[in-house]
Structure 1
Amino acid sequence: MLIISHKSRKEFTDYLDFKKIPYIKTIDNPNLDERIADHPDLSLCKVDENTIIIDASVSSYYKDKLPHIRIIKGEKVSYKYPNDSIYNVVSFKEFYIHNNFTEKNIRKYFKNKDHLFVKQGYTRCSTIVLNDSLLTSDLGIYKRLKDKLKIYLLNEEEIELDGFSKGFLGGCFGLVDEKIALFNGNIERLSSYDIIKSIIVKEKLDLLYPDSNLLDTGSLIWI
């Protein structure tokens, strides 16, 4: 099941329907800035294949939608950065990547993983997480991780984000069932398209996207 923003474009949801990829839409988190209150990765974090930790303010909604998934009720986010980004964590192999504001239940759950500190609180939004590699246009994240993990630096792109001058490419992406690299818009319009495609092909993933403009609505989370 894919968790997507309720602000997702119709072109994207029509595409998911066409590809028979099941999904549920978020609800707004009342503690977040209304412009980004819909983003999945600001209210929940998948910590393993059957477990997600979710902001207590919206956890009951997801419990009803995902009865087969173990849901841990987590701390409430707050309006201002970095406390709005406590769920925006990258889990990758034996590491978790984030700043020092990570939600306490996530920290506890990942106690056996190595914490790789980065300054960017919106870590998940800033990162395309594949099975064997990471991609980012955030120079700070790249410099911090390049000697530890397989990570590629992308060009900065003009990604649309409701109410803001610029969004994040990672907020347009999700890995579906470890088999499909899914974007919510046409990545052929990106200056980094060739490198993104080549890495996805190298990882033997299917690459899917509708023919519409990319829109940062928060990372697409497969559970």
Structure 2
Amino acid sequence: MLIISYKASEEFKVFLKANDIEFILTTPNPKLDPRIDDHPDLSLFKLDDKNIVIAESVYDYYKEKINGYNLIKGEDPSVKYPHDAIYNVVRFKDYYIHNDFTESHIKKYFKENEIKHLKVKQGYCRCSIIPLRESLITADFGIYKALKDEINIDLVDQDEIVLDGFDQGFLGGCCGLINNNLIFTGDISKHKAFFKIKEICDKHKIDLIYPDLDLIDYGSLICL
């Protein structure tokens, strides 16, 4: 099951249903800029297969929607960057990737479980990174430069991605990994990085699935 933006188009929802992928829509987070109040990765973070931290303002909504997990009521983000991105963290193996503004429950969990912090300057880490099982993909050179000597990460070309109200969206904000499928919100084959992404995913036996729609940054698709 995926958590996807409540702003996602009907065509994208039809695409998911046609591929037998169940989903939950987000709810607007009143603490965030209305242009991005729909993004899953700005309101909640999946710690592991049992625990999810959820921003207090939208906690009750997800409590009714999500079953089978221990839901932890977390801090609220605030409207201004980087404090709007306290949930926008990447967990990869024994590391977590973020700046210094990680939500306190998430940070505590990582400390208690000896998950090492790989610090980057970018606050929107999850939006800027595509986490696969054995490697990461990014179009952000700063992130790539900070991580390339620590973990397996590939740098790909940047290209235009729609993000309503902003000049540019993020590559990681328009996709999500579910099982062996990397699902995009739109036609990734038209993106400059497509062939590199496909090459990486083929190497890891991951299929690319995408609809014939514009590639839109709705926030990272979170798999439950």
Query: Is TM-score (shorter-chain normalized) higher than 0.5?
Result: yes
In the other structure, the counterpart of 1:207 is: 208
**Aligned mates of 1:198, 1:79 — CA distance in 2:** 38
> Cα offset for 1:156?
1.1
**Aligned mates of 1:143, 1:108 — CA distance in 2:** 27
**Aligned mates of 1:17, 1:162 — CA distance in 2:** 24
SS in 2 for 1:84: helix
Which runs of 5 or more structure 2 residues have no equivalent in the other structure?
none
In the other structure, the counterpart of 1:102 is: 102
Please tell me the root mean square deviation across aligned C-alpha atoms, in Å: 0.7
Q: TM-score w.r.t. structure 1 length?
A: 0.98
In the other structure, the counterpart of 1:173 is: 175
Query: Which amino acid is 1:154 matched to?
Result: V
SS in 2 for 1:53: strand
SS in 1 for 2:17: helix
Q: What do residues 90-120 of structure 1 show as CA deviations (whole Å, max 9, x unaligned)?
A: 0000000000000000001111100000000
**Aligned mates of 2:18, 2:24 — CA distance in 1:** 15
Query: Which amino acid is 1:191 matched to?
Result: K
SS in 2 for 1:200: helix
In the other structure, the counterpart of 2:60 is: 60
Q: Which runs of 4+ in 1 moved over 2 A?
A: none
Match of 1:148 among 135, 147, 150: 150
Which runs of 5 or more structure 1 residues have no equivalent in the other structure?
none
Moved more, 62-71 or 37-46: 62-71
1:8-87 matched pairs, under 5 angstroms = 8-87=8-87
**Aligned mates of 1:154, 1:2 — CA distance in 2:** 25
> Cα offset for 1:207?
1.5
Q: What do residues 4-39 of structure 1 show as CA deviations (whole Å, max 9, x unaligned)?
A: 001112221111000010100000100000000000
> Cα offset for 1:67?
2.5
In the other structure, the counterpart of 2:132 is: 130
> Cα offset for 1:50?
2.2
SS in 2 for 1:30: coil
Query: Which amino acid is 1:211 matched to?
Result: D
In the other structure, the counterpart of 2:189 is: 188
SS in 1 for 2:198: helix
**Aligned mates of 1:10, 1:130 — CA distance in 2:** 27
> Cα offset for 1:129?
0.6
Moved more, 199-208 or 97-106: 199-208
Query: Which amino acid is 1:115 matched to?
Result: H
Query: Which amino acid is 1:144 matched to?
Result: A
Q: TM-score w.r.t. structure 2 length?
A: 0.98
Larger helix share, 1 or 2: 2
**Aligned mates of 1:143, 1:169 — CA distance in 2:** 17
Residues matched between the structures, number: 222
Query: Which amino acid is 2:94 matched to?
Result: E
